[in-house]
Amino acid sequence: MPFLNTDLREGILTLTIERPPANAFNLSLIEELLSAFRQAGRDSQTRVVVLTGAGKVFSAGQDITEMKASGETISYRRHLLETYNPLILQIRNLPRPVIAAINGTCAGASLGIALACDLRFAADSARFVVGFNGIGLAPDSGVSLLLPALVGLGRATELTFGNQPLSAEKALEWGLVNRIVPFDNLMAETRQTAVHLAAGAVGVFGLSKRLFNHAVLPNLEEMLDYEAHIQEIASKSPEHREGIAAFLEKRSPKF
């Protein structure tokens, strides 16, 4: 059963994550996303990509239940190297504009994916949660680099340590998103922008994106690799074991 709906119209490829109830990522969904972005890079008909979630949740991030079911011996480093790291690089290296239409809660790994997009339009009901520290993990999926780059080190630290939801209004004020749109108008306004971009000089947009990557994110690949190294350390900690147990038992962790 596919978890990613793809729709290509007027040069705009819309990718909708459909894995209810929380659109959490499992291996199948990540592979579908990797395949979709890979195809977008090869298809001359695709001029803009829009990424969104079905319902009222963008994504809760990695499916913790799936990770737990994989057993205690799973390598978080290997998992990142095979899933989120290449996905973040695909988004940043795609020579097309990528817009995240954030329709609701955006947490954990999905925050990194949204931050990797070129533009972020958020529903007024959207909430942003770093999430990782709450289950005894360090930020990954590019969050450690992309979040401070957008909101500053102090605010990124506050969001990471505090692990509290950030409202769409505050996200706009802090520069995490480009625009806030009423929930019911989010996709229409996102598409309007996508149509405008699709009619533009997409090739030069791609070259501009390369310049931004070189100027602001020249160490992205290195940081993704270092995140995977750090996450391997965090994954073996007593804090992570307690964080996972608390999450599954629906209680507050006792670190």
pLDDT band at 71 (very low <50, low <70, confident <90, very high): low
Q: What residue numbers bound the domain in which 72 lies?
A: 4-184
Residue 158 in any domain: the answer is yes
In Å, how far are 37, 38, 254 from 46, measured between CA atoms?
Answer: 10, 11, 48
Q: How far is Cα 96 from Cα 198, in angstroms, rounded to an integer?
A: 9
pLDDT of residue 64: 86
Residue 103 in any domain: the answer is yes
pLDDT band at 100 (very low <50, low <70, confident <90, very high): very high
Q: Using one digit for the tens of pLDDT, what is the confidence trace for 119-168?
A: 999 999 999 999 999 999 999 999 999 999 999 999 999 999 999 999 99
Residue 242 in any domain: the answer is no
pLDDT above 90 for 3: yes
Residue 122 in any domain: the answer is yes
pLDDT of residue 18: 97
- 143-151 and 220-235 helices, crossing angle to 10°: 120
pLDDT of residue 74: 84
Q: Using one digit for the tens of pLDDT, what is the confidence trace for 10-36?
A: 999 999 999 999 999 999 999 999 999
pLDDT of residue 179: 97
Q: Using one digit for the tens of pLDDT, what is the confidence trace for 192-247?
A: 999 999 999 999 999 999 999 999 999 999 999 999 999 999 999 999 999 998 98
pLDDT of residue 72: 61
- Asked if residue 92 lies in contact with residue 113, where contact means CB atoms within 8 angstroms, the answer is no
Which of 110, 123, 116, 111 is CA-nearest to residue 97?
116
What CATH number has the domain bearing residue 78? 3.90.226.10
Average pLDDT, the chain: 95
Interstrand relation of 12-17 and 48-53 (parallel, antiparallel or unpaired): parallel
What are the residue ranges of helices labelled H in the chain? 27-42, 64-69, 76-82, 84-93, 109-116, 143-151, 153-162, 168-174, 186-198, 202-216, 220-235, 238-248
Residue 205 in any domain: the answer is no
Residue 35 in any domain: the answer is yes
> Domain total for the chain?
1
Residue 62 in any domain: the answer is yes
Q: What are phi and psi of 178, to 5 degrees?
A: -85, -30
Which residues, including other chains, have CB under 8 Å from residue 81's CB and lie 6 or more apart? 225, 228
What one-letter code names the amino acid at 33? L
Residue 75 in any domain: the answer is yes
